Structure 1
């Protein structure tokens, strides 16, 4: 049984499937996904993952708004969040620190290195 559970929040279903396969097969963790900010918030609250991989650019509110919501609930405020984004160069380091983001992984990413990157950011 995997000892860590990771929630992937990304509106690109195919990409979520690749990320999930990488985390499960190479990291040995349980991974599950949500395809919207709203679904991601609900799953974070109900499933209590050990970490969240979050796309910044999604329809509607977007990933940064979700982080603010996660930080406002006692049950989700301490869940580490790693951004998985094509816009890594637009992430403001000050905002990054203020929101308590654990790390940023740029898209496109190397599938063979993804689990190692996640482990490094989270100290696993």
Structure 2
């Protein structure tokens, strides 16, 4: 006589498999889409981060970063932010945005709405913290 699992056991296995698949999709797809979008637009989001050519001999070095750039760098370190996307598997929790000239830390959802043009402002970086 062959043992067949009960209908209830089969449905619980299916529910578990569906839950695992759903969790994987809801965490990986947005993270990949978000990372790809930032990788494509990193020069637009943070043009000051682009490498600068070395100064010619006899030319004075560039001035120190302006306060706005220092504030952005400080917040990026504190909140573990990146303008080019977070590593795979890291789900963004917050975002750095500039709204009406002010640098703000917002939720990731608000940052994404700004990126999509649904809210005013400019997305600068996404943050792991």
What TM-score, normalized to structure 2? 0.24
Q: Name whichever structure is richer in helix by fraction.
A: 2
**Could you say which structure has the higher strand fraction?**
1
